[in-house]
C-alpha cells in the first residue's frame, strides 16, 4: 500500500513544485530521519561492518533510481508509471536466470507473457491524460529493471548478514540521501529549492519511510517468494489511490485496471514459483 501511495503523493507534489532534484532530496532526507529515529527508539543496533552493503545498495536504489522514479511519475502519471514499476518481479527473475543460473521454468514463461501483454495493452492505449509524455514510460521500465537488479544484488550481498531490518533501512536511506543531496548541491540555489520543495514532498518522504521499513521488516519474517507477490499489489493500490485522490486527471478506466491486473498476475506467478 505504501509503495502504491508513494506514486500518488509524488504526483500531487509535482503538480505544486516541479523540481525533480529538490523533491528527490526531500523524500530521501525525510525518510532517513523518520527511519533512523524509529530505529533508535526501538533499540536497533548499528554495525557498520554489516550495514555497508545496504548503504551501497541505497546509493543506486532508491538513490539514483529515485530521480528516474520522479521523472517517470511526472511524465507518465502516477497510475501508468506505477503499473510499469510492477514489472520489477519479471526483471528480477530474468536477471536471476541469466546471471545466477536459476532454471527457466514454465511459470516464468507464462508470467512473462502476462506482463508483456499488460505492457502492450498500455502502449496501445488511445486515451491518455493531456500531459502524458512517453519518456515517463521509458523511465518507468528502466526503474523496474533497476528494481529487479536490486533484488538479486541484495540477495547475494546480504545472504549471511544478521543486521536488524530498521538498521538496514536506515543504511539504505543514508546511501540514497548522500547521492540525492549531492545531486542537488551541484546546482545553484540548492537550499532555497530544498525549502520550497519540503512541504509538498514531505508526505512522499513519510510514505517512503513506511514502505522501506515495512518491506525490510517483512523480509525478516517471511521468504522473498511470500513477500514479493504481496508487494507486487502496489500496482493495484497505485491505480486505486490515483482514481480516488487524483480524479479525472489520471483517466483511470477499465483498460487501465485490466492492464494492472495482467501485470500483477504475471509478477505474482513469477514470484511464487521461484
* For residue 28, cis peptide bond before it (omega within 30 degrees of 0): no
Give the predicted TM-score (pTM) of the model: 0.85
Task: Name the pLDDT band for 239 (thresholds 50, 70, 90).
Answer: confident
Task: Name the pLDDT band for 274 (thresholds 50, 70, 90).
Answer: low
- Cα separation of 66 and 70, whole Å? 6
Over the stretch 139-183, which tens digit does the pLDDT of each residue have? 999 998 888 887 777 666 666 667 788 998 999 999 999 999 999
Task: Name the pLDDT band for 205 (thresholds 50, 70, 90).
Answer: very high
Residue (of 214, 244, 242) closest to 7 by Cα position: 242
Phi-psi region of 251 (alpha: psi -120 to 50; beta: other; left: phi over 0): left
Average of per-residue pLDDT across 59-84: 91
Q: Are the C-beta atoms of residues 152 and 100 closer than 8 Å to each other?
A: yes
Residue 175 C-alpha cell reads as 546511501
Q: What's the burial of 33, exposed, middle or buried (CB within 10 Å: 0-12/13-18/19+)? A: middle
C-alpha dihedral over 132, 135, 140, 144, to 10 degrees? 160
Q: Which residues contact 70 (CB under 8 A, 6 or more apart)?
A: 10, 14, 20, 23, 24
- Cα separation of 11 and 265, whole Å? 25
Amino acid at each position: 500500500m505504501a509503495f502504491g501511495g508513494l506514486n500518488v503523493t509524488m504526483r500531487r507534489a509535482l503538480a505544486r513544485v516541479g523540481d525533480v532534484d529538490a523533491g528527490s532530496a526531500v523524500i530521501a532526507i525525510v525518510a532517513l530521519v523518520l527511519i533512523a529515529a524509529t530505529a533508535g527508539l526501538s533499540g536497533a543496533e548499528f554495525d557498520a561492518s554489516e550495514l555497508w552493503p545496504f548503504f551501497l545498495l541505497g546509493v543506486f536504489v532508491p538513490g539514483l533510481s529515485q530521480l528516474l522514479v520522479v521523472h517517470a511519475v511526472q511524465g507518465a502519471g502516477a497510475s501508468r508509471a506505477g503499473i510499469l514499476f510492477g514489472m520489477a518481479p519479471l526483471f528480477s527473475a530474468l536477471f536471476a536466470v541469466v546471471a545466477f543460473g536459476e532454471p527457466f521454468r514454465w511459470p516464468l514463461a507464462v508470467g512473462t507473457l502476462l506482463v508483456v501483454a499488460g505492457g502492450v495493452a498500455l502502449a496501445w492505449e488511445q486515451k491518455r491524460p493531456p500531459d502524458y509524455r512517453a519518456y515517463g514510460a521509458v523511465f518507468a521500465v528502466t526503474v523496474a529493471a533497476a528494481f529487479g537488479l536490486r533484488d538479486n544484488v541484495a540477495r547475494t550481498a546480504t545472504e549471511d548478514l544478521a543486521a536488524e531490518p530498521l538498521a538496514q533501512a536506515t543504511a539504505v536511506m543514508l546511501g540514497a540521501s548522500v547521492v540525492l543531496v549531492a545531486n542537488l548541491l551541484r546546482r545553484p540555489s540548492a537550499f532555497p529549492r530544498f525549502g520550497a520543495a519540503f512541504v509538498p514532498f514531505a508526505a512522499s518522504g513519510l510514505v517512503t519511510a513506511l514502505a522501506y521499513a515495512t518491506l525490510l521488516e517483512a523480509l525478516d519474517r517471511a521468504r522473498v517468494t511470500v513477500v514479493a507477490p504481496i508487494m507486487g499489489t502496489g500496482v493495484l493500490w497505485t491505480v486505486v489511490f490515483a482514481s480516488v485522490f487524483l480524479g479525472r486527471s489520471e483517466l483511470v478506466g477499465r483498460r487501465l485496471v485490466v492492464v494492472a491486473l495482467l501485470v500483477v498476475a504475471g509478477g505474482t506467478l513469477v514470484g511464487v514459483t521461484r
